[in-house]
Amino acid sequence: MNPLVTTDYLVLRKTPYAETSLIVAGLTPDHGQVHLILKGARRLGKRSFPALDLFRLVRVSYREGKGEMHNPSEVEPVEDFGALASRVGLYRAAGELARFVLANVLPGVAHPAVFQALRVALARFAVAEAEPPGLADSAHVCLHLAYLHEGGWLAEQTDERTRRQCAQLLDMALGGPLLALRPETWRELRRWTESLLRQAEFQIPE
């Protein structure tokens, strides 16, 4: 029997499967993208798996199956970022961040910095009283840089000023203080990080 895996898990997508089941796609810090199959979840109703809802952080235990689908044996709620759904722009931004992660993070590949950057972004969205200008763009910048940094793609940024700015942004991405930049500056930075991603042939979902 395969060993039990217990890990933090950010729920990023739920997809109907067969007649009664659901497939949940999410991100873990040490195992990359993980897919869980909830057999009979649609027949049993939402109350059967209340913790595995969109944009929630849970502690999940599962045994690895033969393929990429795993059956969870235990799910414990940790944090709920669902409050962001009340702000349309931030909810849309959270969906864009989720699509970026699911398009670029592979199963079995550890991405602790990407996991933390996404967790921090969702937490900031959830507690925002409105939709602060620049907040969504700053989250994209932070997540992109965390991904590029973990993959070694920022090593080519040899300019000292650029390296120093990237270090400040990465600190913010991982939970450090928000940088007080103008919305147009965040938009410019987002265009820059997206250009780096395209150069490295990563996906930027629409």
Residues of the chain under the 70 pLDDT cut: 1, 20, 40-50, 157-158
H or E element, residue 8: strand 4-17
The answer to whether the CB of 19 falls within 8 A of the CB of 110 is no
pLDDT of amino acid 69: 86
pLDDT of amino acid 42: 45
4-80: what fold? OB fold (Dihydrolipoamide Acetyltransferase, E2P) (2.40.50)
pLDDT of amino acid 17: 77
Cα 146 to Cα 128: distance, rounded to the nearest angstrom: 22
Angle between helices 112-127 and 160-173 (to 10 degrees): 60
**What single-letter amino acid sits at 23?**
I
H or E element, residue 5: strand 4-17
pLDDT of amino acid 52: 83
* Contacts of residue 109, Cβ cutoff 8 Å, sequence gap at least 6: 32
pLDDT of amino acid 21: 76
Cα 51 to Cα 55: distance, rounded to the nearest angstrom: 10
pLDDT of amino acid 20: 65
Two tokens, residue 59 = 């502690």
Which tens digits make up the pLDDT trace of 11-43?
A: 999 998 777 678 999 999 999 999 998 875 544
Cα 122 to Cα 10: distance, rounded to the nearest angstrom: 10
Each domain of the chain, given as residue ranges in start order, spans 4-80, 83-199
DSSP 109-178: ---HHHHHHHHHHHHHHHH-SS--TTHHHHHHHHHHHHHHHHTTTTTT---HHHHHHHHHHHHHHTT-PP
